[in-house]
Amino acid sequence: MPVNRTQLHNEIQLKASRDSEIWEKSLDYAEEVRDFWQALAPDEGDRYATGFYKHSIHIESERARHAAGTVDEMGRKIGGRFYWKHRVVTSADNAEYLEYGTPPDYDPANSKGNWWDLDGEHHWGWNTPTEAYAFAAKTAAAFGGTPGS
């Protein structure tokens, strides 16, 4: 008899969402992921790091909905009802630049690349690429996943 993967996924999700031990273990796991990611992130000791990125990495616990058609063990339809899940995220505005880096400006004549350093000096230049540090990708790889999973 073939397995209905959607139904199996919904049943596992339902049972996991009701188990307090799984809730606590998933929160512990999220804390471990957060601590690992924060250990990779630059801190105040780095010349251009202010520590904001590192301190913006946090755990979000949010409500999600059971998929339509989900049935609990009593046979009641609970599709659309809420359950809680955890994820580790950052709220830093510059997180994308730190993760993926930035390419050089390809049109030097029309480029307006400029920035202020920590000493307050204003720099102008067209070739301002930044390195891709991939903190989130390194964290995901260390825990056997991919960013976004």
136-145: per-residue pLDDT in tens? Answer: 999 999 998 8
The pTM (predicted TM-score) of the whole model is 0.67
By C-alpha distance, which of 27, 23, 25 is closest to 15? 23
Note the pLDDT of residue 109: 63
Note the pLDDT of residue 44: 72
pLDDT-based confidence at 38, cuts 50/70/90?
A: very high
Note the pLDDT of residue 47: 61
| Displacement of CA 42 from its chain's centroid (Å) | 17
CB-based contacts of 129: which residues, under 8 Å, 6+ apart?
Answer: 101, 102, 103, 104
Q: Select the more confidently predicted residue: 57 or 103.
A: 57
The sign one gets for the Cα dihedral 111, 116, 117, 120 is: positive
Residue 128 has pLDDT above 70, yes or no: no
Note the pLDDT of residue 35: 96
Token digits for 69?
């058609």
- Contact of 77 with 20, CB cutoff 8 Å: no
